[in-house]
Amino acid sequence: MAEILGTSCFDYNLPEELIAQHPTERRDGSRLLVLDRVSGETEIHPFHDIVHYLEPGDVLVCNDTRVLRGRMFARKNGLPEGARFELLLVASLEPSGRRWKALLKPGKRATPGTRAVLLEHDGSLNDRGDGFTVLGRCDDEAFEIEFFQGAPEELQRRYGHVPLPPYIRRGDEDADSERYQTVFARHPGAVAAPTAGLHFTPEILEELRQKGIRIATVTLHVGPGTFKPVSVEDVSRHRMHSEEYFLTEETAALVNGAHAAGRRVLAVGTTTVRVLESCAQEDGTVLPGHGHTELFLYPPYRPRAVDRLLTNFHLPKSTLLMLVSTFADREKVLAAYERAIRERMRFYSYGDCMLLK
């Protein structure tokens, strides 16, 4: 049985200036590092060259989740001098959208019964009385809240901010409303974007279709645990966060049909991999379904349902880097990262990407 590698085996040093703070001017203006999983050789191309690495009959699978405009700010009791809360919506708890699972900072001030009034984008208290009540804790990290009034979509539009990741050291800007969503985002529910999909444009997708590539979607609503570091050296002791997923009969049929015909399945992003591998059987076929997955993929696991992976560059010691290392030997992945650093490629959510072929 292959040895399970420790967390420290997935570390690397990244100059802070390579963490992309803004998207490129064009969605497809990023660079693509291509890693040959067998030889370990790497090449760097414009992102548009992704079309050359797919053949007719291959299937490209994307995550069509949509990021909630779910970061909001509020004042306790609606008083200018009241404690200032930062709220991050995680998941709706009822169809009306009044009750939500949410993260709250500072949590110690969010006792059951606490009322808070939402702040406008300029930081002032709103004059409509929109706000929420803390009902209690959902678990060790999240709270259950209930909005006083208003449709959730309207509240997000009026008071919400794009929940940029913590390593982007700036507030959200108007451009982020579009650029932190993929062009195929359809189903609201994520707290972070499936970032490998941010590089695609409608024109590239159409070019792929014209070439005979089938484009399919899954849905995985990315949760806040995606940024949770692995705090133990023994990776088998790390517990993944739970995320809701949907795999339709249509997508399952496309994936299974491609493999039956000897074609390849390219997953766009680690979230897509987690859906397909959560639904994969021993023989690599996938079954459609809806559920919550806590699947944690790390070496020596090898994917069953996915043949190739397109992904952004990930944080050191992260579960995402460990997942990438199930597609190629860790040493080859880290060597590719070292080349990306030497070539001054851009890292993380708004950065460049790599293809493991």
Q: Are the CB atoms for 131 and 120 separated by under 8 Å?
A: no
- The Cα–Cα gap between 342 and 78 comes to 51
- DSSP, collapsed to helix, strand or coil, labels residue 356 as strand
Residue 3 has pLDDT above 80, yes or no: no
Q: pLDDT digit string (tens) for 345-354?
A: 999 999 999 9
- The Cα–Cα gap between 260 and 283 comes to 11
Mean pLDDT, all residues of the chain: 95
Residue 326 has pLDDT above 80, yes or no: yes
Q: For residue 187, with 0-12 CB atoms within 10 Å meaning exposed, 13-18 middle and 19 or more buried, which class applies?
A: middle
- The Cα–Cα gap between 178 and 182 comes to 8
How sure is the predictor about 227, in pLDDT bands with cuts at 50, 70 and 90? Answer: confident
Type of residue at 310 = L
Q: Are the CB atoms for 50 and 201 separated by under 8 Å?
A: no
Q: pLDDT digit string (tens) for 259-287?
A: 999 999 999 999 999 999 999 999 999 99
CATH 3.40.1780.10 fits 7-67+177-356, yes or no: yes
Strand stretches in the chain, DSSP E: 31-35, 42-46, 59-63, 65-67, 71-76, 84-92, 99-105, 115-118, 131-137, 143-147, 187-190, 214-220, 243-247, 265-268, 289-293, 308-312, 353-356
- DSSP, collapsed to helix, strand or coil, labels residue 176 as helix
- The Cα–Cα gap between 183 and 179 comes to 9
Q: pLDDT digit string (tens) for 50-73?
A: 999 999 999 999 999 999 999 999
Task: Output the pLDDT for position 348.
Answer: 98
Q: Where in the chain are the domains?
A: 7-67+177-356, 71-159
Model confidence pTM above 0.85: yes
Residue 191 has pLDDT above 80, yes or no: yes
Beta-bridge partner residues of 74: 85, 118
Task: Output the pLDDT for position 104.
Answer: 96
* pLDDT average, residue stretch 74-97: 93
Q: pLDDT digit string (tens) for 133-179?
A: 999 998 778 999 999 988 889 999 999 999 999 999 999 999 999 99
Class in CATH terms, 71-159: mainly beta
CA end-to-end span of the chain: 26
- The Cα–Cα gap between 131 and 125 comes to 10
Tokens of 169: 């050291």
Task: Output the pLDDT for position 202.
Answer: 98
Task: Output the pLDDT for position 2.
Answer: 64
Ramachandran sector of residue 57 (left: φ over 0; alpha: ψ -120 to 50; beta: rest): left
Q: Are the CB atoms for 237 and 33 separated by under 8 Å?
A: no
- The Cα–Cα gap between 229 and 317 comes to 7
How sure is the predictor about 206, in pLDDT bands with cuts at 50, 70 and 90? Answer: very high
Q: Are the CB atoms for 95 and 107 separated by under 8 Å?
A: no
Q: pLDDT digit string (tens) for 89-141?
A: 999 998 888 999 999 999 988 999 999 999 999 999 999 999 999 999 987 78
Q: pLDDT digit string (tens) for 310-323?
A: 999 999 999 999 99
Domains 7-67+177-356 and 71-159 in one fold = no
Residue 4 has pLDDT above 80, yes or no: no
